[in-house]
Structure 1
């Protein structure tokens, strides 16, 4: 049964515009942006989201984290007036806060539908998997405000789709559909809107069946080698592979394979 998230950190005593639940039986946590109808993300909310991801990363009950939006839209973006009111020092931390899903050692799934603009898109890009419904529209519209994406959006997007498509999205403030995002390699899957939750549920079940140690290792390796040259990436992969060979989970996986049974991984 899912239970409300609790933290002793006074900065999380009252969550600003989102809610968090933890379901130990399903080994998942859900972070839901909850300022409908558009789930606008405030400046303070970005700070709190970072703290929540860090807390869930340290929670042994949680194997997978799902980030979603309440209602018909994931998020239309940030609180525009908040940018004018925030100090330069605060704004300088935006990208670090929004990158929390990427730094989290556990798999993070973004469940996208409707508007996924600005920081909503940037948060999703920092996740490991983006499941888009057929209602999803992605955009980085900051050019319309005389700005550029400030929380890693253009940088992450360029890594995924290259400079030409990134210029199309960023410099023209173009919206792209979930289907187009899938074709371009941004979305992991695109599904009918009515199937978004069940598809995410299925992915969670799939991920928790793997070794948590191997999952954490794979995520860190892939993130760390994203901008590495081939020889460096292969060297790091070899070191990670070698370490996993001594793990209990690898031994269990090999035995289960030969015994034709499902493995029981323990994360060590």
Structure 2
């Protein structure tokens, strides 16, 4: 099978799979280009409430497939940054499910997700210093917001790989699962996410990501939504709530 991004939708969860096992799921130029329109399509699908990004087999993503990036380094970096920004802008919760190597462009994509769950034994690294590349400013700022300046400098200065223990301690990942337990935990957690209010999630995502110009918008959305009344009623009636607000509502 040609290197490509595969996707499926099951129980309101869209799973995007980085599929290039011959090169440890390294992203080709075509794959970088394909990600933003794929995300646009999934964002517009009302059946999708959560997105999971993962890699085929035992590797998340080993970075960029340099052999397919024939243009300038600026052009290649531009493709990666555009894909990263599209992922960060996805309006619904996103989760990276990580096994094995999550390096270079792989770490760039994982950092653009809202949450990162990793299997024990995974390895993480941001490696432009090994290639003499200036890491893009938006990617650097995103990494700083995630792990802080000290860990960002450690990763970018050295290009060294870190293990799941250090990744968890520094905030690069949110949960570490024993071998064989990642898929079960991701399925469990995404079920939780799909049962919650999309209104709460969408507003929280924008606020947490630093949007400062949307307070009035979300106050208006809250006033026009039935989610709060439904949540209170469900709590009092000891039943699961049936929230109706969707990202297309706002």
**TM-score, reference length from structure 2:** 0.89
Moved more, 159-168 or 47-56: 159-168
Alignment match, 2:14: 29
Q: Distance in 1 between matches of 2:42 and 2:69?
A: 28
Q: Distance in 1 between matches of 2:197 and 2:17?
A: 26
Q: Where does the alignment leave 5 or more consecutive residues of structure 2 unmatched?
A: none
**TM-score, reference length from structure 1:** 0.84
CA contact (8 A) 1:63 1:106 kept: yes
Structure 2 residue matching 1:217: 3-state secondary structure: helix
**CA shift for structure 1 position 150:** 3.5
For residues 71-86 of structure 1, the aligned pairs below 5 Å read 71-86=57-72
Alignment match, 2:228: 250
- Deviation per CA, 1:145-197, whole angstroms, max 9, x where unpaired? 11133484322111122222111110111211122111111111011121010
For residues 4-153 of structure 1, the aligned pairs below 5 Å read 16-23=3-10, 26-37=11-22, 38-86=24-72, 88-89=74-75, 91-150=77-136, 152-153=138-139
Q: Where does the alignment leave 5 or more consecutive residues of structure 1 unmatched?
A: 1-13, 226-232
CA contact (8 A) 2:5 2:34 kept: no
Moved more, 186-195 or 81-90: 81-90
**CA shift for structure 1 position 83:** 3.7
Q: Root-mean-square deviation (CA), in Å?
A: 2.3
Residues 17, 163 of structure 1: CA spacing in aligned structure 2 closer, same or farther, 3 A cutoff?
A: same
Structure 2 residue matching 1:264: 3-state secondary structure: coil
**CA shift for structure 1 position 209:** 0.6
Q: Distance in 1 between matches of 2:158 and 2:169?
A: 19
Q: Distance in 2 between matches of 1:153 and 1:192?
A: 29
- Deviation per CA, 1:123-161, whole angstroms, max 9, x where unpaired? 000001100111211101111111133484322111122
Match among 193, 196, 201 for residue 215 of structure 1: 201
Q: Distance in 1 between matches of 2:214 and 2:244?
A: 24
Alignment match, 1:171: 157
In the alignment, structure 1 residue 240 sits paired with structure 2 residue 196:
no
Residues 193, 150 of structure 1: CA spacing in aligned structure 2 closer, same or farther, 3 A cutoff?
A: farther
Structure 1 residue matching 2:209: 3-state secondary structure: helix
Q: Distance in 2 between matches of 1:222 and 1:120?
A: 23
Q: Distance in 2 between matches of 1:177 and 1:249?
A: 41
CA contact (8 A) 1:67 1:111 kept: yes
Residues 68, 195 of structure 1: CA spacing in aligned structure 2 closer, same or farther, 3 A cutoff?
A: same
Match among 224, 237, 247 for residue 259 of structure 1: 237
